[in-house]
């Protein structure tokens, strides 16, 4: 049990797409600093939808979501997306240099020496050197792009990362690197992760609390394999 104050809290959240039956029913859960929550479950049950609700890529039909005690619906989607970073399977970077991609939401006049120090520190946290700043994003592997996208999100001071199937386009070596980098961010930066994955091995290696989404409900399970066992019955 994590007794810390929740940084993100969902209360009785329900959701349906237009003209569709209810997909998510009455979901409540919260996450605190330094916590990893891994959402598992059969395909099509609404895992990605749940992530998108958490940073206002879509809005819930019923219920409320609080970030640091304040409803996300009292803030603009743009404000929320800066605080709660969403990373799709293959992150989008422009064709520019890594430095420009990381500072994309900063105005030139707002960039200070402190920002440069923060970038270098965060690059090291994700296992990349300072030299990457001058590289073109076109030269990067998917795994490197993903880590640059994480640095970009953290430069916005995001304390929560929502990761949707983060290892689906990675080979085994890059998967291991990503897991190491995510664990370091949780431990040293106090970041909270909400991760959707259908990869049992990745889920176990990352570790954390496992939440099974099935039939519109979210329940905590001891091991991610419970979602696979269910599917075989
Ligand atoms: P999961 O991540 O668990 O595979 P998703 O959240 O991607 O599930 O999708 C859940 C269900 O919602 C699926 O049946 C999918 O087809 C449907 N869905 C996803 N996005 C939309 C949309 N924009 N409009 C209508 N239905 C959608």
Does any domain span residue 142? yes
Look at phi and psi of residue 168 and say left if phi exceeds 0, alpha if psi is from -120 to 50, else beta: alpha
Segment 27-51 shows an average pLDDT of 94
State in Å: Cα 44 to ligand 1 middle. Answer: 6
Which ligand 1 atom is the nearest neighbour of the CA of 164? 2
pLDDT at site 232: 46
Structure tokens at 185: 């961010």
Structure tokens at 231: 């599917």
pLDDT at site 91: 86
Does any domain span residue 67? yes
Does any domain span residue 136? yes
Does any domain span residue 45? yes
Contact by Cβ (8 Å): 233, 61:
no
Does any domain span residue 1? no
Which span out of 36-40, 119-123, 223-227 was modeled with the highest average pLDDT? 36-40
State in Å: Cα 224 to ligand 1 middle. Answer: 21
pLDDT at site 3: 55
Segment 111-119 shows an average pLDDT of 75
Give residue 89's domain range: 6-232
State in Å: Cα 145 to ligand 1 middle. Answer: 26
Closest alpha carbon to 230 in 193, 198, 202: 198
CA 155-140-127 angle, to 5 degrees, is: 55
pLDDT at site 1: 45
Distance CA 152, CA 223 (A): 32
Question: Which element (helix H / strand E) includes 82?
Answer: helix 77-83
Separation of first and last alpha carbons in the chain: 30
List, in order, residues 6 or more apart from 167 with CB less than 8 Å away: 174, 175, 178, 197, 199, 202
DSSP letter at 131?
Answer: G
pLDDT in tens, 177-229: 889 989 988 998 899 999 999 888 999 999 999 999 999 999 999 888 876 65
Does any domain span residue 215? yes
State in Å: Cα 191 to ligand 1 middle. Answer: 27
Q: pLDDT grade, residue 233 (50/70/90)?
A: very low
Q: Whose CA is nearest to atom 19 of ligand 1?
A: 49
Q: Whose CA is nearest to atom 21 of ligand 1?
A: 17
List, in order, residues 6 or more apart from 222 with CB less than 8 Å away: 210
Residue 170 has pLDDT above 90, yes or no: no
Q: What does pTM read for this prediction?
A: 0.90
Q: pLDDT grade, residue 173 (50/70/90)?
A: confident
pLDDT at site 110: 65
CATH number at residue 85: 3.40.50.300
Structure tokens at 227: 């979602």
109-118, 134-143, 162-171: segment of lowest average pLDDT: 109-118
Structure tokens at 179: 């897991």
Segment 144-172 shows an average pLDDT of 89
State in Å: Cα 49 to ligand 1 middle. Answer: 6
φ, ψ at 112 (rounded to 5°): -120, 175
Pick from 22, 41, 44 the residue to mutate for probing ligand 1's pocket: most ligand atoms within 8 Å of its CB: 44
Contact by Cβ (8 Å): 100, 107:
no
Q: Which residues line ligand 1 (CB under 6 A)?
A: 17, 20, 23, 43-49
Number of structural domains in the chain: 1
Which ligand 1 atom is the nearest neighbour of the CA of 17? 25
């Amino acid at each position: 049990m994590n007794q810390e104050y929740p940084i993100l809290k969902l209360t009785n959240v329900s959701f349906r797409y237009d003209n569709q039956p209810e997909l998510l029913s009455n979901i409540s859960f919260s996450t605190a600093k330094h916590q990893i929550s891994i959402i598992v479950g059969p395909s099509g049950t609404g895992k990605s939808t749940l992530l998108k609700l958490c940073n206002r890529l879509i809005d819930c039909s019923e219920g409320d979501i609080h970030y640091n005690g304040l409803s996300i619906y009292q803030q603009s989607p743009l404000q929320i997306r800066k605080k709660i970073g969403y990373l799709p399977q293959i992150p989008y970077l422009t064709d520019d240099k890594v430095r420009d991609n990381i500072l994309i939401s900063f105005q030139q006049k707002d960039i200070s020496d402190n920002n440069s120090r923060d970038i270098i520190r965060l690059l090291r946290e994700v296992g990349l050197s300072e030299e990457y700043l001058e590289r073109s994003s076109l030269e990067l592997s998917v795994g490197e792009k993903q880590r640059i996208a994480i640095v970009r999100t953290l430069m916005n001071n995001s304390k929560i990362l929502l990761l949707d199937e983060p290892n689906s386009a990675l080979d085994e070596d890059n998967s291991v690197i990503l897991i190491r980098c995510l664990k370091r961010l949780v431990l040293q930066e106090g970041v909270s992760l909400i991760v959707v994955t259908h990869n049992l091995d990745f889920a176990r290696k990352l570790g954390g609390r496992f939440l099974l989404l099935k039939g519109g409900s979210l329940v905590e399970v001891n091991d991610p394999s419970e979602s696979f066992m269910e599917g075989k019955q």
